[in-house]
Chains A and B, each alone.
Chain A
Amino acid sequence: MTADRRPQRDPRHPDEHFEPYELDASIPWPLLGIAVALGVWGAATLFDTRRHEERAQVERIEDTRLATGQAVEPGHALFEASCATCHQSNGLGIRRAVPPLAGSPFVQHGPELVANIMLRGIDGPIRVNDALYDGHMPSFASVFTDVEVAELASYVAARWGENDRVLEAAEAAELRGRVSDLGSFRGGAGVAEDTGLALGDQPPFASGTLQPVAPEISALIFEGRGGQWSCASCHGDLGQGRENTPRLAGLPADYIRKQLHDFAAGRRLNESMAVVVAELTDEEKQALGAYYSGLRVPSNARPDLGGDLERGEQLAREGDWSLTVPSCFSCHGPSGFGVAPEFPPLAAQHAAYTASQLAAWAGGQRTNSSLDLMEHISSALSAADRRSVADYLASLPPVPAGTGDTLAAQGEDR
């Protein structure tokens, strides 16, 4: 510690005036070896970034093609991917459920009307030839670009309506601008009324969406009660949801009621919902379900998890039997539009929410699926698969189609 304790004559003892300096030893060969090896690795790694760059270039070229309308795929592939799940590949539809395209007077009027219906959707009864259908045509406005709308409408009109007029992308864009605020057609009568076209005898439209909301329920939804915050504070004024908060608009009433029960019973774990449902009575749960099931809102979901959309489409439409995963649509209905009340619509649900629910089933935070179906399916999927399928489902159009303006009016009408 001090000089006293140090052996005074220790020859090793440094003296105070010693100056640090460097010896002239040469560089040890392992150091040179490491330096050369790391140099080679570094150059190779940097050279390798060209792969990222090339991939980005391919994506840019594809984006440019789509944006400038140079995509050359015929509407056929799009039809198979998005329309045939309901209208069938042969365009004959499903008896008593989905109207046919073949021989339909709507299609025979040409690609403008087809495009118009694709963009707006139909929500209400419709007569095609001699059969009546409960119309639930979704709006594809959020799903297809103008180029795709034009291609699809031309394809459908030419193939099943024998109308050879070709709709241009610019016309589709113009149409999109014109109808963007109109919401979905109110049944077949609404189509005839709005377009002035002769479509035969159409059933009258009876609004199912403007049912009265009790003031207490409206207060729950928009203002909250006591320690419970309002539904709208997270799920939005229109029940449209956002990111990890689900879209509620258009979910079956019984499905919503069951989920509220399950939150209360601990079969779904979520700290926010646990607080909110604690004080709800059964009647209130029922009324909330009824309210949200009646909402018609355009989709604000986007595939934003970076998932592989092709893989997602494969899982949704065909499943993956190597993982013993059935297709989503086999239970949740064609195009994921839902089969009430057990199987909720998946289409247009927010990707982050869908992926997080799949993860929650796999991780045991959600245990309320019938027959443990979802627990098994979710556990079999990899994290990348969960993102892919969630992204694909988010890219689908919502059903029933939305009418934003009526909805907003209803929201303010509490």
Chain B
Amino acid sequence: MVTMGLLLALSFVVSLLALAFLIWAISNKQVAPDQHDARVIFEPGDEGHVDSGETATSRPYHFDTVRSGIDAVSTRPVAVLLIAATVWLVIGSVFGLVASLKLHWPDWLSDHAALTFGRVRTLHLNLVIYGWLSQVGIAAMIWVLPRIFHTPLRAPRLPLIGAALWNAAVLLGAIAIANGWTDGEEWLEIPWQLDLVLALAGVFFMVPLIKTTLARQVHHIYVTGWYFLAGILWFPCLFVIANLPYVHSGVEEATVNWWFAHNVLGLWLTPIGVGTAYYFIPKIIGKPVFSYAVSLIGFWGLALFYSQVGIHHLIGGPVPTWVATLSVVHSVMMFIPVIAVAINQHITVGQNLWALKESLPLRFIAFGALMYTMASFQGSIEALRSVNSVTHFTHYTVGHAHLGAYAFVTITMFGAVYHMLPRMTGRVFRWPALINAHFWLVVIGFAIYFFGLSIGGWLQGLAMLDGTRPFSESVILTKPYLEARSVGGALMTLGHLVFAFNVASILLPQRVPESVRTVPAE
């Protein structure tokens, strides 16, 4: 008998086989990265007359981004995006902290509608996703893609226009949310009229990156490029489809909602974070990553499996069982690409632990990459029905979301920013100890936050499942864990203030004399 289960299983097997074939074909028949690609930008005659002391570009896999003028072009848009992102990070964290405090001080700041929990929490989410993470991600793309393509950023003024539009839309969206005007769906709260502006701003970011890609001077695209290019292709599709007004309704609306909300993590923030880590880890250490074939598995596994993951938020909801089951299976299949990325990144770091001592940015990025592995493993397990029935509707889920969006992506991006800023400005960080302080503040703060919510959330889930205990007990027992969350959140917010200070201190003109070749913070 032909059933939905049979069809699903067949199509699943077919797509797995197709993926395996694709990876096999690329890794065996396509051109493997070689010396030739790395040197493509230089005509045979050129290679000789580079800086005589540092014969960098005459060696394979070496390329001087400063001398080729690439960094100089990227600096302005990257700086603008970084400043804006940092401002939103600080504001967004403050809202997050306020929301956290309100969970155990329920009467605090409850006199104005704009300061009630429902709006403050929503502001936190939208500001850190659209204000901070998206902008710092685009900044990293604008910095890295020209470097790996060996060509300056094309149309470098467009991102400035994009940044102006994007920030205006985020600001107006925040004001709208604070005043109670939202689309009424989690992660999609910004009114669709303002989403139009965000989408338009996105075009101003995409066009220069696509033009730069088309003008690239290398044949082989390094793995970071796959993630970044896929991200700027996937996210606009997700964003536009999910925000279409008057199209989605009822159960289908909820399905689209969670398809979008989870894909923002997996198909936008994850490409940003993984792509960034893939570039900066070998860059800082000076060693290649482990395997081209493994990175293929990591990328194509994400592309194939992630898009169906979000519906596990609707387990037990009125969606067809097979939709939720498909999502559970895809969630668990995410083990494959995650292990692949882990092999490539952690082996490179693990064989060069000395670099962690020397480089503060690497410390952030390696920690973030490790958290990608952790968050993904946890997410795959959390999607199983047996686990989900405990953790759903609890603070455990909130802890998991922060493990992904914060410990992985945000901390990775901190490292990237600390690596980029000295190269953008040609200056050193005046107080490297503050970078160290920032690292430990956010790591310790996050540890308190995560373990508090995970333990508290799990106990809360067990209490809610136990019919012999009143519901109020499941709420009351979370109180000490919520207080721990606020302590952790306060440390993280303090860390963000230190980060903002560090960014400001290097961007503002300095009077101290600078040595030309210092490579700060490493």
Contact = CB atoms under 8 A, between A and B. Distances in A.
Interface of A: 1-4, 6, 12-28, 31, 34-35, 38-39, 41-54, 56, 269, 271, 355-356, 359-360, 362-365, 383, 386
Nearest to A55: B321
B12 A46 contact: yes
Interface string B421-437: 00000001000110000
B422 to A, nearest CB: 10
Where chain B touches its partner, the secondary structure class is helix
A17 B63 contact: yes
B3 A3 contact: no
Given A41-B332, A44-B9, A53 B322 contact: yes
Given A45-B328, A53-B3, A19 B278 contact: no
Contacts of A34: 335-336, 339
B169 to A, nearest CB: 34
Contacts of B358: 6
Given A6-B522, A31-B343, A38 B332 contact: yes
Contacts of A18: 61-62, 282-283, 286
Contact of A14 (B1, B9, B285, B468): B285
Contacts of B295: 22
Interface of B: 1, 3-6, 8-9, 12-13, 16, 27, 32-33, 38, 54, 56-57, 61-65, 148, 222-224, 278-279, 281-295, 297, 321-322, 325-326, 328-330, 332-333, 335-336, 339-340, 343-344, 352, 354-355, 358, 360, 428, 432-433, 466-470, 472, 515, 517-522
A363 B469 contact: yes
Contact of A45 (B16, B297, B325, B344): B325
A50 B38 CA distance: 52
13 contacts: A3-B520, A6-B522, A19-B222, A20-B288, A21-B33, A22-B344, A27-B291, A28-B343, A31-B343, A46-B5, A47-B8, A49-B8, A50-B5
A236 to B, nearest CB: 22
A44 B6 CA distance: 9
Contacts of B520: 1-3
A322 B192 CA distance: 60
Contacts of A25: 290-294
Given A6-B358, A22-B223, A34-B339, A43 B297 contact: no
Given A14-B286, A21-B282, A362-B468, A49 B63 contact: no
Given A1-B360, A39-B16, A31 B340 contact: yes
Nearest to B279: A20
A52 to B, nearest CB: 4
Contact of B4 (A17, A38, A49): A49
Given A16-B519, A17-B64, 19 more contacts: A1-B521, A3-B520, A4-B518, A16-B56, A17-B56, A20-B279, A21-B38, A27-B27, A31-B294, A31-B297, A35-B336, A39-B13, A42-B332, A46-B12, A46-B329, A52-B322, A359-B468, A383-B467, A386-B467
